[in-house]
Amino acid sequence: MEKRFVYADNAATTPMSETAFNAMKPWLTENYGNPSSLYRIGRAAKEALNDARTVVGKCLNAAEPVNEKNDYAPGEIVFTGGGSQADNLAIRGFMHGPSSKGRKHIITSKIEHHAVLYTCEALEKEGYRVTYLNVDKEGRVDLEQLKAELSEDTALVSVMAANNEIGTIQPIKQIAELAHSVGAKFHTDAVQAVGHMHIDVQEMGIDMLSLSGHKFRGPRGTGVLYVKKGITLEPLVYGGGQERGLVSGTENTAGCIGLAAAMKEAVEGLDEKMGYVKKLTDKLVKGIMENIPYSHYTGDPVNRLPGTASFVFEAIEGEGLILRLDNAGVCGSTGSACSTGSLDPSHVLMAIGLPHEIAHGSLRLTLGEQNTEEDVDYIIETVTDVVKTLRSMSPVWENGHPNLTAATELHAH
Ligand SMILES: *Cc1c(COP(=O)(O)O)cnc(C)c1O
């Protein structure tokens, strides 16, 4: 097959859509006013920013706009510099703010993004108590454990809508109901979910929700925290008082407008685009599983993001796999994080109970609407070839089978 370039790492970031780029352009060039300025080009920027807020609010089905300017007042939509900032503002801002009402307990899960996990760890050092929920082997949080851990001291439950490594979708509506039963609030990191599955903050009982522009073909460095009316947070950045005083600093007007344009485009065409992406992903999973022996699918086979295909291959090192795929023009990622200087495979693969020596051979391929059937054929052929080559050179592969004893010894440390 002819060599191609195939981008299959859409969970890491996505190529910006033409619509988002065109919406941004004038706000980077002729419309450069500071939204806080009183003259005409400043007011125009402020208005465009609030229109973007309205678009985001509508996509999430946030509460109806209440003032004559059509704002989601008093600011349920807070623009941030990305998903990580939104997560930090939600968790730290809530626990430090008055809405936590002096409660000191947070419940989250073991498979959250580090923007959530490390924020919780930082709060533990300040004396807050954090419970990290277990997940089952397909990555679903343990609801019985959640019920048992909830108490009158629980201020916040934070569970992601969908996982970034294995694609598992959590029962967030049920989790929100359980949180509310003890008077706790519910935050969800929906960075992978927004633009890829239906989200309705009112219907799902969500009090706070994080999203990121670049995960649905908007610009990198833009995000939103949805904060339900009535919740008061401690600011993330102090200064000029922008974004309800929560994230001070002159607004990234073009970025917010690009985020809103990309979000509208993603949400409006959701069913059609995701139906297409899911068909490609199903074909990819089937091809890989049929072609490669000693391979395992990871994540929930039913309740998963439409574009996520994640695997582990026995007797394979993820890093070598990624580099060889790159040579063949395929961009994917691995949860075996030798590249980050750690010998441990990802916390997500550990939490779903994979043995070390198998988790080291993980591959995540995440497709988007810009991928084609030909891309999928090429990925299947390329991954099959690369896995075969790597195994032929591996000390833990013998006569077409993994040598499990050797594998265990290799990774024992
Ligand atoms: C990408 C991602 C983030 C971080 O978003 P940034 O905009 O890159 O800061 C947080 N949570 C999840 C689940 C993600 O996939």
What is the CATH number for 370? 3.90.1150.10
Q: Which of 267, 284, 319 finishes a domain?
A: 267
Q: Which of 129-138, 331-340, 352-361 has the highest mean pLDDT?
A: 129-138
Of how many residues is the chain composed? 413
Nearest CA to ligand 1 atom 6: 83
* Nearest C-alpha neighbor of 187 from the set 232, 156, 229: 156
Task: For residues 256 and 342, state if they share a domain.
Answer: no
Domain of 184, in residue numbers: 18-267
196, 215, 224, 304: residue to mutate for ligand 1 pocket, most atoms within 8 A of CB: 215
The tens digit of pLDDT for each residue in 157-202 reads: 999 999 999 999 999 999 999 999 999 999 999 999 999 999 999 9
pLDDT band at 147 (very low <50, low <70, confident <90, very high): very high
Task: For residues 256 and 283, state if they share a domain.
Answer: no
The tens digit of pLDDT for each residue in 45-67 reads: 999 999 999 999 999 999 877 66
Establish if 3 belongs to a structural domain.
Answer: no
C-beta of residue 347 within 8 angstroms of C-beta of residue 111: yes
Establish if 329 belongs to a structural domain.
Answer: yes
Domain count, the chain: 2
Q: Which pLDDT score, from 0 to 100, does residue 27 have?
A: 97
Establish if 149 belongs to a structural domain.
Answer: yes
Establish if 7 belongs to a structural domain.
Answer: no
What is the CATH number for 255? 3.40.640.10
Establish if 6 belongs to a structural domain.
Answer: no
Q: What is the 3-state secondary structure (H, E, C) of 272-302?
A: HHHHHHHHHHHHHHHHHHHHCCCEEECCCCC
Name the average pLDDT for the chain: 94
The tens digit of pLDDT for each residue in 398-411 reads: 989 998 776 666 55
Establish if 4 belongs to a structural domain.
Answer: no
Nearest CA to ligand 1 atom 14: 191
pLDDT band at 390 (very low <50, low <70, confident <90, very high): very high
C-beta of residue 72 within 8 angstroms of C-beta of residue 65: yes
Q: Which pLDDT score, from 0 to 100, does residue 413 have?
A: 45
Q: Which of 243, 267, 291 finishes a domain?
A: 267
Q: Which pLDDT score, from 0 to 100, does residue 1 have?
A: 77
C-beta of residue 23 within 8 angstroms of C-beta of residue 258: yes
Distance in angstroms (rounded) separating the CA atoms of residues 109 and 163: 11
Task: For residues 321 and 174, state if they share a domain.
Answer: no
Task: For residues 120 and 234, state if they share a domain.
Answer: yes
Distance in angstroms (rounded) separating the CA atoms of residues 160 and 191: 8
Establish if 13 belongs to a structural domain.
Answer: no
Task: For residues 68 and 207, state if they share a domain.
Answer: yes
> How far is the centre of ligand 1, averaged over its atoms, from the C-alpha of 392 (Å)?
36
How far the first Cα of the chain sits from its last, in Å, is: 41
> Region 91-97: what's the mean pLDDT?
98
Task: For residues 376 and 389, state if they share a domain.
Answer: yes
C-beta of residue 44 within 8 angstroms of C-beta of residue 52: no
Establish if 115 belongs to a structural domain.
Answer: yes
The tens digit of pLDDT for each residue in 218-274 reads: 999 999 999 999 999 999 999 999 999 999 999 999 999 999 999 999 999 899 999
Q: For the beta carbon of residue 147, count every other beta carbon within 10 angstroms.
A: 11
Query: Is residue 407 lining ligand 1, measured as CB closer than 6 Å?
Result: no
Task: For residues 26 and 136, state if they share a domain.
Answer: yes
Task: For residues 112 and 238, state if they share a domain.
Answer: yes
Task: For residues 157 and 263, state if they share a domain.
Answer: yes
Distance in angstroms (rounded) separating the CA atoms of residues 354 and 360: 9
Catalytic positions are: 338
Nearest atom, ligand 1, residue 213 CA: 7
Task: For residues 273 and 260, state if they share a domain.
Answer: no
What is the pTM for the complete model shown?
Answer: 0.96
C-beta of residue 224 within 8 angstroms of C-beta of residue 79: yes
Task: For residues 259 and 306, state if they share a domain.
Answer: no
Task: For residues 188 and 45, state if they share a domain.
Answer: yes
Q: Is the pLDDT of residue 10 over 50?
A: yes
Q: Which of 223, 240, 267 finishes a domain?
A: 267
Q: Which pLDDT score, from 0 to 100, does residue 410 have?
A: 58
Q: Indicate if the alpha-carbon torsion angle 323, 324, 329, 330 is positive or negative.
A: negative
